[in-house]
């Protein structure tokens, strides 16, 4: 985020309340005039620092922490103290610090949340307090202009499962600010605590969430609906982002609300979009069409089905085939192996119905005694060109499986997407070695480049939804769209795919580098808003040509500005 001209703010906070407000605090960067005007002269040491000085100091302090989890805790506490410094520091060291505040370290921070707990963040809506939900909501949002609400019920956090009252919402919302420039004052992260079925948490007396089994059925739906209706009532133009819900709720809630509000499920749509962009880039390298691929998806949950549908829709729009024809290109596997007819309704979720394989196609393959067909058997028979992992099963793509795939295709496209890093279905270096450097790879968490024979390096793209979701959401907010349509998502996806380094050099990464994620997400946002205007979903009456300038002007930048004391000024 490049610094812009220094804005002037009228601020009503003084003394200790100013220094403890992370939105307005500048610490040692308050000028002497400001120190006098705001009652700070005796509260700060003598020297006035620049933001650059403060970033240098903070970076040195950060290095003193011996592991990534400790660094995450340190940065979290910096976020509690000073937003400009926090976002500025991370923007300056984006590639190094993203993995500390987001995936993969965020998984450890969430798993240890109750034990590391210092200070609460965002809005906690807990099932036993359903009656006061509106009051609790207004307590934190009254008078604010909320553009973005990120919520999670924490049932399927990354690949680490049910974390109860401990959400990922604040990390995802921080990434919106960092990579898309959403003003953190106008975002709200919400933990929807409906209990947990995680026995370890239930037994832990330090667990800070509601120690109760998960609420299901009508009670769950009523609780969620009450929350969604509050968002709609008070912030009708906001984007409502769902994160890490269990698979049974993810699709249901998305379908229920997306016609009435700008609603987005990141695991379904964000992951679908970034993976489609990645595969578009890979088929550019293999000089084939999307519809020519045979795609095996291992793990048919929120992400697996989201990817399948998005890539299927990509085949329909880009290669002009019918959805029925495109569906045949996919082989999904879940806990009971290949999703095929004879598994029966009790073992196949209803939303997978379009992708169930017919039994007669598999009559020549011997299933195990439970009637299940394994990944290796599928790879042998299908000879896939693309293998995607979103199963949470670390190491599931074994040497035998990867070598088998490589026997039949020149450049196997292998995407182990399960997070955090230890849950990846295959380590990229192994996939690279087992395919003699031929595999086209992208991973869900960041990995170092693969070492190739002869000393060359292959850059492993990070196929994480953070490369696109901040832009998709920002685009919808910018255009004040009442819904986030599939066509808006496709427009963002195409823009991302067009930025792929492999387009120019087939030996380069399949997706842009995460160091460029702010620029990439801005491009995505512009494409989304332009599409919203074109198709009439936008609530603004701009011309498409105006979008870029409007987007840049809308972005929040981590710079301090000059403060003038004014009793009618900013207080929160
Ligand atoms: N890279 C990204 O951007 C991205 C985005 C979303 C999710 N993910 C990752 O993908 C993984 C899944 O996330 P999700 O939200 O879809 O979770 P989910 O719980 O909805 O899906 C996981 C699926 O894997 C299946 N599964 C479990 N064991 C299996 C096995 N042995 N064989 C085959 N399938 C098995 C489960 O039954 C479930 O359907 C997580 O690790 C998550 O971190 C990555
Ligand atoms: O959080 C991430 O890193 C990506 C994704 O949303 C996930 O659930 O793994
Ligand atoms: Mn997620």
Please report the pLDDT score of residue 551 as a whole number: 98
Dist. CA 491–CA 474, nearest whole Å: 13
- In which element (H, E) is residue 311 found? helix 302-319
Contacts 24+ apart (CB under 8 A), 310-317: 310/269, 310/272, 310/273, 310/275, 310/276, 310/489, 310/493, 311/272, 311/275, 311/276, 311/279, 313/486, 313/490, 314/276, 314/279, 314/280, 314/290, 314/490, 314/493, 315/290, 315/291, 317/490
Residue 242 in contact with ligand 1 by CB distance below 6 A: no
Where in the chain are the domains? 8-92, 111-257, 269-466
Please report the pLDDT score of residue 167 as a whole number: 75
What pTM, to 2 d.p., does this model score?
0.97
pLDDT tens for residues 119-128?
Answer: 999 999 999 9
Q: Which of 366, 418, 372 is nearest to 396 (CA)?
A: 418
pLDDT tens for residues 529-554?
Answer: 999 999 999 999 999 999 999 999 99
Query: What is the pLDDT confidence band of residue 4, given thresholds at 50, 70 and 90?
Result: low
- In terms of DSSP bridges, do strands 330-334 and 337-338 run parallel, antiparallel, or are they unpaired? antiparallel
Please report the pLDDT score of residue 1 as a whole number: 46
Please report the pLDDT score of residue 544 as a whole number: 96
Task: For residue 203, count CB atoms less than 10 angstroms from its CB and return exposed for 0-12, middle for 13-18, buried for 19 or more.
Answer: exposed
Tell me, which fold does domain 8-92 have in CATH?
Hemocyanin, N-terminal domain (1.20.1370)
Cβ 153 vs Cβ 128: under 8 Å? no
Ligand 1 test: best mutation among 158, 391, 442, most atoms within 8 Å of CB?
391
* CA-closest residue to ligand 1 atom 21: 301
Atom of ligand 1 nearest to the CA of 158: 43
Residue 465 in contact with ligand 2 by CB distance below 6 A: yes
Q: Active-site residues: which are they?
A: 102, 172
Residue with tokens 């806990």: 335
Look at residue 277 and tell me whether its pLDDT is greater than 50. yes
pLDDT tens for residues 233-267?
Answer: 999 999 999 999 999 999 999 999 999 999 999 99
Please report the pLDDT score of residue 3 as a whole number: 52
Better-scored residue on pLDDT, 344 or 97: 97
Ion ligand 3, residue ranges at CB < 5 A: 244, 267
Look at residue 137 and tell me whether its pLDDT is greater than 90. yes
Ligand 1 test: best mutation among 252, 265, 301, 415, most atoms within 8 Å of CB?
301
Q: Is the domain covering 111-257 a CATH 1.10.30.50 domain?
A: no
Dist. CA 291–CA 425, nearest whole Å: 25
* CA-closest residue to ligand 1 atom 1: 444
Residue 244 assigned ligand-binding role: yes
Dist. CA 269–CA 489, nearest whole Å: 8
Look at residue 2 and tell me whether its pLDDT is greater than 80. no
Residue 244 in contact with ligand 2 by CB distance below 6 A: yes
Contacts 24+ apart (CB under 8 A), 536-540: 537/479, 537/481, 537/482, 537/483, 537/485, 537/488, 538/479, 538/480, 538/481, 539/237, 539/479, 539/480, 539/481, 539/482, 540/478, 540/479, 540/480
Please report the pLDDT score of residue 23 as a whole number: 96
CATH superfamily, region 269-466: NAD(P)-binding Rossmann-like Domain (3.40.50.720)
Cβ 14 vs Cβ 565: under 8 Å? yes
Residue with tokens 């020519």: 292
pLDDT tens for residues 384-418?
Answer: 999 999 999 999 999 999 999 999 999 999 999 99
pLDDT tens for residues 196-210?
Answer: 999 999 999 999 999
- In terms of DSSP bridges, do strands 457-458 and 450-451 run parallel, antiparallel, or are they unpaired? antiparallel
Percentage of the chain lying above the pLDDT 90 cut: 95
Query: What is the pLDDT confidence band of residue 346, given thresholds at 50, 70 and 90?
Result: confident
Look at residue 5 and tell me whether its pLDDT is greater than 70. no
Quote the mean pLDDT of the chain.
96
Dist. CA 465–CA 457, nearest whole Å: 24
Residue 404 assigned ligand-binding role: no
Per CATH, 111-257 and 269-466 having the same topology is answered yes
Please report the pLDDT score of residue 164 as a whole number: 86
pLDDT tens for residues 165-196?
Answer: 787 999 999 999 999 999 999 999 999 999 99
Residue 221 assigned ligand-binding role: no
């Amino acid at each position: 985020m490049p610094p812009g001209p220094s804005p002037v703010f009228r601020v009503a906070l003084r003394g200790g309340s100013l220094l403890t407000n992370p939105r307005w605090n500048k610490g040692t960067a308050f000028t002497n005039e400001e120190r006098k005007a705001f009652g700070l002269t005796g509260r700060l040491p003598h020297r006035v620092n620049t933001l650059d000085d403060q970033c240098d100091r903070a970076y040195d302090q950060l290095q003193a922490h011996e592991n990534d989890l400790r660094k995450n805790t340190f940065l979290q506490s910096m976020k509690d103290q000073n937003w400009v410094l926090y976002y500025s520091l991370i923007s300056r060291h984006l590639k190094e610090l993203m993995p500390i505040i987001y995936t993969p370290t965020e998984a450890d921070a969430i798993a240890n949340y109750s034990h590391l707990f210092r200070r609460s963040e965002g809005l906690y809506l807990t099932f036993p307090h359903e009656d006061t939900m509106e009051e609790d909501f207004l307590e934190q949002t009254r008078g604010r202009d909320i553009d973005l609400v990120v919520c999670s019920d924490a049932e399927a956090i990354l690949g680490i499962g049910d974390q109860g009252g401990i959400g990922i919402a604040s990390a995802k919302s921080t990434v919106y600010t960092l990579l898309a420039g959403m003003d953190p004052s106008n975002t709200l992260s919400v933990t929807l605590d409906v209990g947990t079925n995680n026995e370890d948490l239930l037994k832990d007396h330090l667990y800070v969430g509601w120690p109760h089994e998960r609420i299901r059925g009508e009670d769950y739906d009523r609780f969620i609906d009450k929350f969604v209706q509050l968002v709609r009532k008070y912030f009708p133009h906001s984007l409502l982002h769902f994160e890490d819900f269990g698979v049974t709720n993810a699709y249901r809630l998305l379908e229920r609300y997306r016609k009435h509000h700008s609603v987005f499920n990141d695991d379904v749509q964000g992951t679908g979009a970034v993976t489609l962009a990645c595969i578009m880039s890979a088929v550019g390298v293999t000089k084939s069409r999307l519809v020519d691929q045979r795609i095996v998806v291992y793990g048919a949950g929120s992400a697996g089905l989201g990817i399948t549908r998005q890539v299927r829709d990509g085949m329909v729009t880009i290669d002009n085939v019918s959805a029925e024809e495109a569906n045949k290109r996919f082989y999904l596997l879940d806990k009971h192996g290949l999703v095929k007819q004879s598994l029966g309704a009790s073992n196949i979720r209803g939303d997978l119905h379009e992708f169930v394989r017919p039994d007669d196609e598999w009559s020549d393959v011997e299933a195990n005694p439970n009637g299940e067909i394994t990944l290796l058997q599928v790879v042998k028979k299908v000879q896939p060109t693309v293998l995607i992992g979103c199963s949470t099963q670390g190491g599931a793509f074994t040497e035998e499986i990867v070598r088998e795939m490589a026997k039949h295709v020149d450049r196997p496209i292998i995407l182990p997407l399960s997070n955090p890093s230890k849950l990846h279905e295959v380590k990229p270096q192994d996939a690279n070695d087992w395919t003699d450097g031929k595999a086209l790879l992208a991973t869900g968490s960041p990995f170092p480049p693969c070492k190739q024979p002869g000393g060359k390096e292959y850059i492993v793209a990070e196929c994480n939804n953070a490369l696109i979701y901040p832009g998709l959401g920002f685009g919808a907010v910018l255009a004040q769209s009442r819904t986030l349509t599939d066509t808006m998502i496709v427009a963002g996806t195409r823009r991302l795919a067009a930025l792929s380094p492999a387009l120019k050099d087939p030996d380069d990464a399949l997706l842009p580098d995460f160091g460029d994620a702010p620029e990439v997400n801005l491009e995505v946002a512009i494409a989304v808003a332009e599409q919203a205007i074109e198709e009439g979903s936008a609530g603004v009456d701009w011309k498409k040509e105006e979008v870029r300038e409007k987007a840049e002007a809308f972005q929040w930048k981590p710079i301090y500005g000059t403060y003038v004391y004014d009793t009618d000024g900013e207080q929160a």
